[in-house]
Amino acid sequence: MSEQGKVTTGQRLVAGLKAWRYGTVVGVFLLVVATLAWRLVDLHVVDQEFLSQQGDVRTIRVESIDAHRGMVTDRYGEPLAVSTPVQTIWANPSEIQIDDPRLAVVARQLGMSEGDLRGRIRDYSGREFMFLRRKVQPQLAQQVMEVGMPGIYSRQEYRRYYPAGEVTSHVVGFTDIDESGQEGIELAYNDWLSGERGKKRVLKDNLGRVIKDLTLIRDASPGKNLTLSIDLRLQYLAYRELKAVVTAHNARGGTLVMLDVDTGEVLAMVNQGAYNPNDRSQLTANRLRNKAITDLFEPGSTMKPISMAAALESGRYKASDTIDTAPGYRRFGRFTIRDHRNYGAISLTDVIVKSSNVGISKIANDLGGDVIRNMYARLGIGQPTGIGFPGEAVGVLPAPPKWRPVEEATLSYGYGMSLNALQLAQAYMVLANGGTRYPLSLLELTEKPVGQRVISEKVAYEVRQMLRKVVASGTGTRAQPGFYSAGGKTGTVHLVGKSGYEDSQYKAIFAGMAPIDDPRIVTVVAVDAPQSGEYYGGEVAAPVFARVMGGALRLLNVKPELELGQARKPESAAGERG
């Protein structure tokens, strides 16, 4: 083949190759265009749901709906704990320009350092959420939002508020910032009070702002309300008087418990020192304790009436019987039991009226330790009250295999054992209502509970008459509550320190009931370590009982029993010290 023919053939091959490549490219291009066109048609006409879902993912969000925590009220509906709507300020750091000058305005309104705010946003720059200020007043949140800072948002939450403040703090307790119970009733009934969060589907714009609520997935379920047995009027009265006596005597603290005699409901329960659950900046562990339930102490002479009930129930003693207390003391080896003075031969009633350690210890040694201990146990000493309060201390009620005489003696007047103020009030409630032990309750009862008879009406009546004389002429004369009759018993015990009993530190106690012929309420008052020079139960605790009981009976519309000339002011009464 000639050279010219070869060139012509080569040119044809090259031209054919170029045409093939061009056709291939055009074909591929047309195929891509056709595929894209088909996909567009498929998404917009055939398979619209996929495109809609992808768009929704970028604009529709599911948000939670906060639940309203249940309200706590007193027995008459007065609020003790409520949840109020507030606003929480939060930020999306990924949407914020760190050098935006409006950040300075936001920081100033939130009470934050501008440098700290910018530093936090820089640290969280890779995230989409951070808290700025939680649970602030709605007005403040509105001011922040009016700045118009991109990436700054607010949402509604709830904040717990306690209208009675420190007056009911130890009973009601408090919640944390997420409204979860931490102390008191708020903790004990947290599941009951807590609501269940809801969910809703919302439409947001590209800045994350909610444009529209679309659908409700699950509505928020609010917590249930709780009605306590507490009478807020009596609670205020008890708190005021207890705080006054602790201040007047420069005492370490104090406790007061008041029970309804016929139901076992707690009408008032206060402690000193207290705390304000609305301002927890200065909380200490010591202030958080509900000492009426968590703190144990030796009850001292307040147990003598219960020991006397055991003696009367045994049938071996009558109230009019006499017992020789001379020479005013008893020795058990190196241990000596003493009275304030030598009373000589006195009746069993005077053993209680004069608070004779010698007299009651002789009776206990005659009866035996088991008889005294069993009576204590039947009245609830050394056992849970069933009140369901967190941190309740049960106490110690000894039961040795063989009682030593000194153990029997000291147990009869409240040493060598321990209880809390609520247990002591429960024991006196049994004496007051004629011998029936009711379960105690911090919740209002809709019907009278079923009680258990633990002593006879006759024995309970005879002991009440002894307690009447204690207030009329014995160690508790300062406990007379104005125009009402009363009965009760004083107690003065050494406080226990690191090295045993402290010689100069005492707990002053008074436990009693009123009106004595038909008791309505029982009250126990205990004052820790008074430092004013007076420290006996009859000097420190009895006057508090008088003022609280007089005021409480008036508030409960109990008709006065005594005429003007019969009523006696607690401050003018004398009698034995107890």
Q: State residue 111's pLDDT score.
A: 87
Q: State residue 211's pLDDT score.
A: 59
573 falls in which pLDDT band (50, 70, 90)?
A: very low
Give CA–CA dist 433/412, Å, rounded.
22
pLDDT in tens, 172-186: 999 998 889 999 999
pLDDT at 26 > cutoff 80: no
Instruction: List, in order, residues 6 or more apart from 560 with CB less than 8 Å away.
Output: 482, 483, 484
Q: State residue 144's pLDDT score.
A: 86
> 445: closest CA among 268, 264, 270, 292?
264
Give percent of the chain above pLDDT 90: 60
SS3 65: strand
Q: State residue 575's pLDDT score.
A: 38
Give CA–CA dist 510/122, Å, rounded.
63
> 484: closest CA among 412, 370, 568?
568
Helix (H) or strand (E) holding 366: helix 357-367
Of 60-69, 398-407, 427-436, minimum mean pLDDT range: 60-69
Helix (H) or strand (E) holding 305: helix 304-314
> 548: closest CA among 140, 262, 270?
270
The answer to whether 511 and 302 are in contact (CB under 8 A) is yes
Q: Where are the domains of the chain?
A: 3-46, 63-227, 232-277+288-572
Amino acid 440 reads L
Instruction: List, in order, residues 6 or more apart from 171 with CB less than 8 Å away.
Output: 80, 184, 185, 228, 230, 235, 266, 269, 290, 442
pLDDT in tens, 395-414: 999 999 999 999 999 999 99
360 falls in which pLDDT band (50, 70, 90)?
A: very high
Peptide bond into 273 cis (omega under 30): yes
How many residues does this entry show for the chain?
578
Q: State residue 574's pLDDT score.
A: 36
The mean per-residue pLDDT over the stretch 302-331 comes to 96
- Bridge partners of residue 559, in order along the sequence: none
Give CA–CA dist 134/302, Å, rounded.
50
Q: State residue 328's pLDDT score.
A: 95
> 432: closest CA among 188, 236, 201, 260?
260
Q: State residue 66's pLDDT score.
A: 67
Q: State residue 200's pLDDT score.
A: 61
Give CA–CA dist 452/435, Å, rounded.
8
214 falls in which pLDDT band (50, 70, 90)?
A: low
Q: State residue 498's pLDDT score.
A: 73
> 508: closest CA among 545, 477, 473?
545
Q: Give me the active site residues, please.
A: 301
Give CA–CA dist 316/363, Å, rounded.
10
Q: State residue 571's pLDDT score.
A: 43
Q: Are strands 521-528 and 500-514 parallel, antiparallel or unpaired?
A: antiparallel
pLDDT at 567 > cutoff 60: no
For domain 63-227, give the CATH number.
Answer: 3.90.1310.10
The answer to whether 255 and 295 are in contact (CB under 8 A) is yes
Q: State residue 202's pLDDT score.
A: 61
List Cα–Cα distances, 168 to 172, 252, 488, in angstroms.
6, 20, 26
The mean per-residue pLDDT over the stretch 137-153 comes to 85
Give CA–CA dist 325/356, Å, rounded.
8
pLDDT at 577 > cutoff 60: no
DSSP string, 117-142: HHHHHHHTTT-S-EEEEEEE-HHHHH
**Tokens describing residue 239:** 């708190």
Decide yes or no: CATH 3.30.390.30 for domain 232-277+288-572: no
pLDDT in tens, 479-512: 999 899 999 999 999 888 777 777 789 999 999 9
Return the higher-pLDDT residue of 215 and 85. Answer: 85
**Tokens describing residue 308:** 């006397």
The answer to whether 423 and 440 are in contact (CB under 8 A) is no
Of 114-118, 349-353, 568-572, minimum mean pLDDT range: 568-572
pLDDT at 255 > cutoff 60: yes
- Bridge partners of residue 297, in order along the sequence: 419
